Amino acid sequence: MLARDVLLLLLTALAWRADTAVRGEPGALPALVAVAAGALAAIAVHLTHEWGHLLAARAAGSRVHYPERVSSTFLFFFDVGANDRRQFLAMSLGGFAGSAIALPVLFASVPAGALSSWVAMGLAGAGFVASLVTELPPFLRVMHGAPLPRGFVYRDGARQGV
């Protein structure tokens, strides 16, 4: 997964370079490049969030399982059968920390007014809201004593899936 994500970051950098080169030119190509560059930047922000989860989980000594396919949309699966509340909370906070780092860096580094910037900020902002909606409630429930969630990316033992 690391190699996949490094390649994606390189592709993102190339797309932003291409966007800079064609910005302001006539035709549809500049808009297509801008949308691609912006979407790739938003994906990079999402990956920073996911790597934050993984790094925090591993730092807390969590057991995780990796997907069988590099094309998986998930970076890892959290083993709720082997991990405890402290490890779950650490893993969750890692994702929030990843977003807290990536979003300001994105917003500060994209050129003002460029279509690629609007796409990147819009998609990354929507992804942040989606993360809050899906991840904050289970985090708060577990923090207040609820059992660890099951399903989705929270898997028991060797049951890995995707």
pLDDT in tens, the chain (162 residues): 899 999 999 999 999 999 999 999 999 999 999 999 999 999 999 999 999 999 999 999 999 999 988 888 889 999 999 999 999 999 999 999 999 999 999 999 999 999 999 999 999 999 999 999 999 999 999 999 999 999 889 998 755 444
pLDDT, residue 72, reads 85
Domain that holds residue 94: 2-155
Q: Please give the Cα distance from 135 to 133 (Å, whole number).
A: 6
Residue 105 falls inside a structural domain: yes
**What contacts 160, CB < 8 A, 6 or more positions away?**
65, 66, 67, 68, 77
Q: Please give the Cα distance from 38 to 40 (Å, whole number).
A: 5
Task: Tell me, yes or no, if the pTM score tops 0.95.
Answer: no
CB-CB contact of 90 with 60 (8 Å): yes
CB-CB contact of 82 with 157 (8 Å): yes
pLDDT, residue 73, reads 80
- 147 CB-contact burial (10 Å; exposed 0-12 / middle 13-18 / buried 19+): exposed
pLDDT, residue 1, reads 85
Residue 162 falls inside a structural domain: no
Q: Count structural domains, the chain.
A: 1
Residue 31 falls inside a structural domain: yes
pLDDT, residue 71, reads 85
Residue 161 falls inside a structural domain: no
Residue 47 falls inside a structural domain: yes
pLDDT, residue 159, reads 53
Residue 111 falls inside a structural domain: yes
